[in-house]
Amino acid sequence: MIEPHVYPAMPPITVLPPVMDPNPAATDSRESDSAATDSAATAESENALLAAAIELQSQLDQADTLSAASHSLVHRLAEILDASEVTVCWRETPQSGMRCIATTRESTEPTQIAAAEELALHGGTAHWPPSESAGQAERGGMMAIAQYVREATADSFVGSCLLNEDGEVCGVVMVLDSRGASSHPFLEALSSPLASKLLSIRRHQGGRVQTALRSLIQTSPSGTRIIISAAIALTLLMFAPATYTIDTKLELQPVQRRFVAAAFDGPLQKCLVRPGDVVIEGELLAELDPRELQYELAGIESQLEQAMQTRKGHVAQHEFGSVRLAQLESERLSARAELLAHRREHLEIRSPIDGMIVSGDWRSREGTPLSRGETLFEIAPLNEMVVEIWIPESEVTHVREGMPIRFYTNAAPEKTFTGRVSTVHPKAELQDHDNVFIAEVRVANNAGWLQPGMRGRATIYGDTHAIGWNLFHRPWFAFRNWAGI
């Protein structure tokens, strides 16, 4: 930081009262000397302000952030203009509001912001109190500035707008109680280069991370060593061994599925279960209506009796050809009667295994005609489940049988389960529009938390690699393939 230069005080300008000199030549000489003195004082003042502006620009060149530059600016301007308070307000876009980013004295911020907004609307350079020639409209347009001056118990105000490349106001500089005679023209002349410098610093100060690192380096004598040490530690950490994990989706499926279907055509008389019911082997699930079978069986039995009597008549008349035909018809009707009797004895549909009714709700469809082979129920045992893990195609080469997994379901994310990969399907499948390979894991379900069809997330714990490999192997392989290495 360049030490502020102490500029010489402006020499006082003495105004002599007019004196009647009997010698006109001597009077003219004194007036010429006074004009020369005033000109020399004005030139010295202008030179001092120019030097101060150059030094101010040099100080701003050393600032890395807009905040640091603004704080340096307000304190140096307060020294140059001998002011009681200097404030810089800024806004990122023309549509956003002003915010105070640096000031030499704590003031009421809402009043400061209101004065800054009013100065931005006014444009250019403004001062308070206004000149005697100012109209009522000009005085009324500076009410917030006047309020700011009163609350700060100041006597005067000078402010200048900072414009960007498009001529839009991006900030303001406000000075209270400046004792310098040239504060108004000085601010007016300085506003353009000052705005360019602050805008340049704002564009190059970087993001939050870069700003924080720069602040660490500047505020700490060993900041650079800290950054270097952290970089070395991070590099060494990349070589530390860690288990490679693969996070995937999953779906639960039963170990075994049994489908219960209608054995023959007939209307459904009664359904006793619904999905979610737990059943045991041999439990009655539904019943078929026996009336159609009974009607048909009665007709077959009548036809069978008639065929047998016909056969006896042919035997009595020694019509052996007709006897044979009547005997075959009797055998056909007898077989049909036995089939119908068998069906009548198996009108009850029972569960073939212990498990849960996974699908099949026929309670609201009792009386519906059923066709032979039509599926009525799906039953699955729930004491053990198969976890189907959807391994992405890009990760399948890192998964082998026997690798441990940990998973949870979306229905109960607070409960985790463990297991090991039992098999990996050799053929890819399409699941949720993704090409995946299915890995199966068998887990016990004694507590009954797992249900068929549940989905969740699983983590597969693979081989051990360096942390850097775990994080960056896929980008590295993609770059290597792109570069043809």
How far apart CA 378 and CA 216 sit, in angstroms, is 67
**Is 359 strand, coil or helix?**
strand
Q: How far is CA 100 from the centre of its chain?
A: 31
When pLDDT is averaged across residues 229-247 and rounded to a whole number, the result is 91
Of all residues in the chain, the percent with pLDDT exceeding 70 is 82
- Positions of CATH 2.40.30.170 in the chain: 381-483
Q: 66-81 vs 183-204: helix axis angle to the nearest 10? A: 170
CATH of 381-483, one of 3.40.630.30, 2.40.160.60, 3.30.930.10, 2.40.30.170: 2.40.30.170
Q: Which two tokens stand for residue 108?
A: 């009421």
Burial class (CB in 10 A: 0-12, 13-18, 19+), 252: buried
Q: Which two tokens stand for residue 428?
A: 């890819």
**Which CATH superfamily, name and number, covers 24-205?**
GAF domain (3.30.450.40)
| pLDDT digits 0-9 by tens, 146-198 | 898 888 888 899 999 999 888 899 999 999 988 876 778 888 888 888 888 88
- Positions of CATH 3.30.450.40 in the chain: 24-205
One DSSP character per residue, 124-148 reads SEEEESPPTT--HHHHHTTHHHHHH
CA dihedral 309, 311, 313, 316 (to 10 degrees): -130
One DSSP character per residue, 9-75 reads PPPP-PPPPP---S-HHHHHHHHHHHHHHHHHHHHHHHHHHHHHHHHHHHHHHT--SHHHHHHHHHH
Its pTM surpasses 0.75: no
Burial class (CB in 10 A: 0-12, 13-18, 19+), 78: buried
Name the residue with higher pLDDT: 379 or 24.
379
Going by pLDDT thresholds of 50, 70 and 90, the confidence category of residue 464 is very high
CB atoms closer than 10 angstroms to residue 21: 12
Name the residue with higher pLDDT: 244 or 40.
244
Place of tokens 């080469």: 397
| pLDDT digits 0-9 by tens, 300-329 | 777 777 777 777 777 777 777 777 777 777
